[in-house]
Amino acid sequence: MLTRTIEKTVTFEKPFVLGDLNIWLPAGDYVVETDEELIPGLSFTAYQRVLTVFHIPAKPGEGGMGRAMSIAPEELDAALKRESASKPLSAEERADQTAKERAEFEGMEFSDPPQ
């Protein structure tokens, strides 16, 4: 099967809990890698998520290595929604967010329009 990996950076402005970790992670930027497999037999190109890896960097000043853990995409989505729920959005931002959430739920990729 044809597999592709998509890497993106997510930013948390406040400390957060991810899934069932029961530990608080500090605010900051985190790298997320998503592996997707091509869905065969369709008349169009479509991929489905098969693995999501969340990278936790090493603590600054302590040296050592960061760690990576496999998570359910829904855990990351829930953490990001909790983060964004504390920020007031304009009507246009809410509409954009809803459209992006629907696209992600359907496994689609999207990009913001050029400025």
What is the per-residue pLDDT across 78-105, written as a single tens digit (0 to 9) for each?
A: 888 888 877 666 778 777 777 777 777 6
User: 42 with 55: CB under 8 angstroms?
Assistant: no
Domain for residue 111, yes or no?
A: no
Whether the full predicted model's pTM is greater than 0.85, yes or no, is no
User: 56 with 79: CB under 8 angstroms?
Assistant: no
Q: How far apart are the first and last CA of the chain?
A: 36
Q: Is 28 in a helix, a strand, or coil?
A: strand
* Paired tokens of 91: 């009507």
Domain for residue 112, yes or no?
A: no
Comparing 4 with 111, which gets the higher pLDDT? 4
pLDDT at 107 over 70: yes
Domain for residue 26, yes or no?
A: yes
pLDDT at 115 over 60: no
> How many domains are there within the chain?
1
d(CA 68, CA 57): 8
pLDDT at 111 over 80: no
Within 8 A by CB and 6+ apart from 91, the residues are none
d(CA 87, CA 42): 40
Q: Whole domain around residue 83: which residue ranges?
A: 3-105
Domain for residue 110, yes or no?
A: no
What is the per-residue pLDDT across 28-84, written as a single tens digit (0 to 9) for each?
A: 999 999 999 999 999 999 999 999 999 998 877 777 788 899 999 888 888 888 888
